[in-house]
Amino acid sequence: SAVISQKPSRDICQRGTSLTIQCQVDSQVTMMFWYRQQPGQSLTLIATANQGSEATYESGFVIDKFPISRPNLTFSTLTVSNMSPEDSSIYLCSVVLTSGMNEQFFGPGTRLTVL
Protein backbone atom coordinates (compact mmCIF):
# COMPACT_ATOMS: atom_id res chain seq x y z
CA SER A 1 0.00 0.00 0.00
CA ALA A 2 1.03 3.65 0.32
CA VAL A 3 0.90 6.44 2.84
CA ILE A 4 -1.40 9.16 1.57
CA SER A 5 -1.64 12.37 3.55
CA GLN A 6 -4.11 15.17 3.14
CA LYS A 7 -4.03 18.66 4.56
CA PRO A 8 -6.04 20.03 6.20
CA SER A 9 -7.87 17.13 7.80
CA ARG A 10 -10.85 19.37 8.44
CA ASP A 11 -11.83 23.00 8.16
CA ILE A 12 -14.74 25.31 8.76
CA CYS A 13 -14.97 28.07 6.19
CA GLN A 14 -17.14 31.06 5.45
CA ARG A 15 -19.34 31.33 2.41
CA GLY A 16 -17.60 32.92 -0.55
CA THR A 17 -14.07 31.95 0.44
CA SER A 18 -11.79 29.31 -1.10
CA LEU A 19 -9.91 26.38 0.39
CA THR A 20 -6.98 24.48 -1.07
CA ILE A 21 -6.56 20.84 -0.09
CA GLN A 22 -3.22 19.12 -0.50
CA CYS A 23 -2.57 15.45 -1.19
CA GLN A 24 0.88 13.88 -0.85
CA VAL A 25 1.77 10.25 -1.53
CA ASP A 26 4.92 8.49 -0.41
CA SER A 27 5.06 6.16 -3.43
CA GLN A 28 5.08 6.55 -7.19
CA VAL A 29 1.57 6.63 -8.59
CA THR A 30 0.15 6.28 -12.06
CA MET A 31 -3.18 7.94 -11.43
CA MET A 32 -4.49 10.48 -8.95
CA PHE A 33 -8.11 11.38 -8.44
CA TRP A 34 -10.26 13.66 -6.34
CA TYR A 35 -13.58 12.47 -4.94
CA ARG A 36 -16.34 14.16 -3.02
CA GLN A 37 -18.56 12.52 -0.45
CA GLN A 38 -21.53 14.60 0.56
CA PRO A 39 -23.07 13.91 3.99
CA GLY A 40 -24.58 10.42 4.13
CA GLN A 41 -23.86 9.80 0.46
CA SER A 42 -21.56 7.70 -1.65
CA LEU A 43 -18.40 8.91 -3.34
CA THR A 44 -18.48 10.87 -6.57
CA LEU A 45 -15.47 11.44 -8.80
CA ILE A 46 -14.68 15.13 -9.29
CA ALA A 47 -11.72 14.81 -11.63
CA THR A 48 -8.60 12.96 -12.63
CA ALA A 49 -5.48 14.95 -11.76
CA ASN A 50 -3.06 14.84 -14.68
CA GLN A 51 0.61 15.53 -14.13
CA GLY A 52 1.68 18.75 -15.75
CA SER A 53 -1.56 19.37 -17.57
CA GLU A 54 -5.17 20.29 -16.97
CA ALA A 55 -7.28 17.90 -14.95
CA THR A 56 -10.03 15.85 -16.57
CA TYR A 57 -13.35 16.77 -15.00
CA GLU A 58 -16.47 14.67 -14.64
CA SER A 59 -19.84 15.87 -15.71
CA GLY A 60 -21.16 18.44 -13.27
CA PHE A 61 -17.75 19.63 -12.11
CA VAL A 62 -15.88 22.57 -13.67
CA ILE A 63 -12.39 23.92 -13.44
CA ASP A 64 -13.45 27.36 -12.23
CA LYS A 65 -15.10 25.85 -9.19
CA PHE A 66 -12.60 23.04 -8.52
CA PRO A 67 -9.18 23.96 -9.90
CA ILE A 68 -6.71 21.10 -9.59
CA SER A 69 -2.96 21.01 -9.92
CA ARG A 70 -0.56 18.10 -10.10
CA PRO A 71 2.97 19.42 -10.51
CA ASN A 72 4.62 16.02 -10.02
CA LEU A 73 3.80 12.34 -9.70
CA THR A 74 3.16 12.31 -5.97
CA PHE A 75 1.49 15.63 -5.14
CA SER A 76 -1.79 17.28 -6.05
CA THR A 77 -4.01 20.08 -4.82
CA LEU A 78 -7.74 20.64 -5.08
CA THR A 79 -9.20 24.09 -4.51
CA VAL A 80 -12.84 24.54 -3.65
CA SER A 81 -13.63 28.06 -4.84
CA ASN A 82 -16.30 30.55 -3.85
CA MET A 83 -17.71 28.11 -1.37
CA SER A 84 -21.34 27.72 -0.39
CA PRO A 85 -22.93 25.48 2.26
CA GLU A 86 -23.65 22.91 -0.48
CA ASP A 87 -19.90 22.34 -0.75
CA SER A 88 -19.82 20.90 2.77
CA SER A 89 -18.47 17.41 2.16
CA ILE A 90 -15.54 15.11 2.66
CA TYR A 91 -12.99 15.50 -0.12
CA LEU A 92 -10.78 12.51 -0.75
CA CYS A 93 -7.65 12.05 -2.75
CA SER A 94 -7.23 8.64 -4.37
CA VAL A 95 -4.30 6.97 -6.10
CA VAL A 96 -3.39 3.95 -8.18
CA LEU A 97 0.18 2.92 -7.46
CA THR A 98 2.81 2.32 -10.12
CA SER A 99 3.86 -0.78 -8.25
CA GLY A 100 1.23 -3.19 -7.08
CA MET A 101 -1.75 -4.84 -8.67
CA ASN A 102 -4.05 -1.98 -9.63
CA GLU A 103 -5.36 -1.49 -6.14
CA GLN A 104 -6.78 1.97 -5.56
CA PHE A 105 -6.18 3.66 -2.23
CA PHE A 106 -7.70 6.69 -0.58
CA GLY A 107 -6.35 9.41 1.61
CA PRO A 108 -7.87 10.11 5.02
CA GLY A 109 -10.08 12.83 3.59
CA THR A 110 -10.66 16.51 4.31
CA ARG A 111 -13.88 17.24 6.13
CA LEU A 112 -15.12 20.65 4.98
CA THR A 113 -17.93 22.60 6.57
CA VAL A 114 -19.10 25.82 4.94
CA LEU A 115 -21.14 28.23 7.02
Closest of 54, 51, 16, 58 to residue 34, by C-alpha = 58
Cβ 109 to other proteins shortest distance, Å: 5
The answer to whether 102 contacts other proteins (rule: CB under 8 A) is yes
- Binding residues for other proteins restricted to 18-37, rule: CB under 8 A: 31, 33
82 touches 76 (CB < 8 A):
no
Chain centroid to CA 85: how far?
18
The answer to whether 73 contacts other proteins (rule: CB under 8 A) is no
Q: Which is nearer to other proteins, 29 or 80 (CB)?
A: 29
Closest of 27, 42, 46, 10 to residue 104, by C-alpha = 27
The answer to whether 90 contacts other proteins (rule: CB under 8 A) is yes
The answer to whether 105 contacts other proteins (rule: CB under 8 A) is yes
Task: Give every CB contact of residue 90 below 8 A, 6+ residues apart in sequence.
Answer: 36, 37, 109, 110, 111, 112
The answer to whether 111 contacts other proteins (rule: CB under 8 A) is yes
Cβ 94 to other proteins shortest distance, Å: 7
The answer to whether 72 contacts other proteins (rule: CB under 8 A) is no
Closest of 40, 83, 49, 51 to residue 64, by C-alpha = 83
Residues of this chain that interact with other proteins (CB under 8 A) are: 1, 31, 33, 41-45, 48, 90, 92, 94, 96, 101-109, 111
